[in-house]
Amino acid sequence: MQPSKKLTQIPPYLFAELDKKIDAAKAQGRDIINLGIGDPDLPTPLPILEEMHRAVDDYSTHNYPPYRGTVEYRKAATEWMDNRFGVKVDPATEVMSLIGSKEGIAHLIQAYVDPGDVVLAPSPGYPVYNNFTILCGGEPYIVPLKAENKFLPDYSQIPADILKRAKLLFLNYPNNPTGAITPDAFIKETIAFCKQHNILLCHDNAYSEMTFDGYRAPSFLQAEGAKDVCIEMFSLSKMYNMTGWRVGFAVGNKAAIDALGVIKNNCDSGVFKAIQQAAIVGLNRSDELLQNLNTIYATRRDIFVDGLNQMGWDFPPNAATFYLWIPVPAGYTDTQFVELLLEQCDIVVAPGTGYGKAGEGFFRVALTQNDSRIQEAITRMKNKGIHFQMAQKQPSAAV
């Protein structure tokens, strides 16, 4: 039996390929420092764990959850939005629980895209925006994020015929993979752009709480009139080190929430109620739980950035996310340099082109190892003569 032809259009998922390389290297007995995938190495905060233990023992959590999420969870999400951003949303009509934001993104595309419709997808960007559009028969139109424009899209470069067919625009700030942040003026510009062209904006705000040096990331829903055209997705995965728990929420435009709900009602049965109960503790105690986490990530960032700059880079510390989006040395492609780091230094990082063609010339570091391992990675690079101005060397075959 033949699977759908659409599957042949999907490139291998980046992190699945990285896992294969890591497994092969470890099988050779090598000590691999994995800075490739953005999966926190720190435990979920204790208050969340304690509530989860209690909720699991409560048999009333063992049945099917409400499709939109429990009333308590949706109220906690709305209170968090109000306290954090000053954004008021209706827990009955403008909030929905998600099995992580990745699921919500994929199902939103399914809710809005028919064959021939266009989705405006940033590059570099989270691969799901592009790949699930293809799976739904839509046409991704790549909107490049360029360093000279501070990794913000230039809407004036999108052709008029594309705009006529565009149904969705995906954005993600603080940004994965670049770590870029957005000024308020750009948010207002984006809302006006989407209204003008009747496009639904999906803002993937998974990293809103991972910020440093006094910076606080905004919600796009803070802009005047944003609810008319915007749905925003939040994930607790990176907020509270809950990647494996699969829990998040969508807020914003009521019609978009309803459309997303139709797909979800037919595809899944919601988030385990005990997980929702535990997530409420995270949302209610967010500032307390995040303070120490962000201090840890800022320290890791500083260690790696200081090391890079000692090796000839001129790399400024970013204000958000635990990612560093770093230019490769002259004369190397991103894949060549990533192979070099794996083969000579036993360090795994992600190639920029894994996030789209516009990622050429960069590699991404995820600060998901402790201070000593990050310092060890810098030491290995120095010992192998890694330098931003180093001459091109021919790397051997990839592992």
Work out the burial of residue 343: count CB atoms within 10 Å of its CB; fewer than 13 is exposed, 13-18 middle, 19 or more buried.
middle
User: Is residue 29 helix, strand or coil?
Assistant: coil
Domain extent listing, the chain: 5-43+288-383, 46-286
Alpha-carbon distance of 219 to 174, in angstroms, equals 10
The pLDDT assigned to 108 comes to: 98
Would you identify the CATH topology of the domain 46-286? Answer: Aspartate Aminotransferase; domain 2 (3.40.640)
The pLDDT assigned to 399 comes to: 32
The pLDDT assigned to 392 comes to: 55
10-residue mean pLDDT profile of the chain (399 residues): values are 82 70 84 92 96 97 96 98 98 97 96 96 95 94 96 98 98 98 97 98 97 97 98 96 96 98 94 98 94 94 98 96 96 93 95 94 97 98 94 44
Alpha-carbon distance of 186 to 171, in angstroms, equals 11
Torsion angle of C-alpha atoms 319, 173, 177, 244, degrees rounded to 10: 100
- N residues, the chain: 399
Q: What share of the chain is helix, strand, coil (3-state, %, to 5)?
A: 45, 15, 40
CA 352 to chain centre: 14
Identify the CATH class of 5-43+288-383.
alpha beta
| Helix axes 371-383 and 334-345, enclosed angle (nearest 10) | 100
Contact 279, 73 (CB under 8 A): yes
Alpha-carbon distance of 294 to 317, in angstroms, equals 14
Alpha-carbon distance of 399 to 397, in angstroms, equals 6
The pLDDT assigned to 5 comes to: 80
Contact 141, 162 (CB under 8 A): yes
Alpha-carbon distance of 136 to 117, in angstroms, equals 10
